[in-house]
Amino acid sequence: MNNEFLNFYNNLVKLTTNKSLYDGIINDEDTFSDRLSLFLFHFAFILKEFKSEKNEKILQKLYDFNFRQLELSIREIGYGDQSINKKMKDYINLFHGILSEIHFWNDMNRNKKRDCLLNFLQNFKNTDFLVDYFDNFSDDLKKNNLNSYLKSVNK
């Protein structure tokens, strides 16, 4: 396995497992789907922020690596080969839907951002917190460069 982007992937997982993101979850227990959706939101914001001709090749490699890691995670859960192909197609479509929705995040008002999140995170009640969280995450991304996320361990 190519470990070039493993640190980046692990940072995304760490961001996704932040317990405060799951405060007020409707079922009182998060699911794989909830975590995956938050993982994809983080990844979408990163791709959105660092999209440029200069970063095109490395972002494509990150995309491929992250979805390969997700596929491996699904295999670990125990899905069969046929199920995995369908699940991966669903997850890739979900990701592209998220990416499309957040494209104009910075131009959206608070209600539109909340609606955007609710389209993908139906199990979450505390969308105001999530709007603030992703606003701050987006601002943090703007203060750094892609290389800082590839090489460092995020807090």
Residue 65's nearest CA partner among 4, 12, 153 is 4
Distance CA 137, CA 56 (A): 21
Query: Which of 113-117, 118-122, 148-152 bottoms out in mean pLDDT, i.e. has the lowest?
Result: 148-152
Distance CA 40, CA 66 (A): 10
Q: Which amino acid is at 1?
A: M
Residue 126's nearest CA partner among 20, 29, 35 is 20
Q: Is pTM, for the whole model, over 0.75? A: yes
At residue 27, the pLDDT reads 73
pLDDT of 122 strictly over 90: no
Distance CA 71, CA 116 (A): 26
**Domain coordinates of the chain in residue numbers?**
32-151
Q: pLDDT digits over 52-105, tens only? A: 999 999 999 999 999 999 998 888 888 777 888 888 999 999 999 999 999 999
pLDDT of 1 strictly over 70: no
For the ranges 94-98, 124-128, 150-154, the one whose mean pLDDT is highest: 94-98
Q: pLDDT digits over 2-55, tens only? A: 577 888 898 899 999 988 998 878 877 778 888 999 999 999 999 999 999 999
Distance CA 63, CA 142 (A): 20
Is residue 34 classed exposed, middle or buried when 0-12, 13-18 and 19+ CB atoms within 10 A define those classes? buried
Looking up tokens 């105001």, which residue turns up?
128
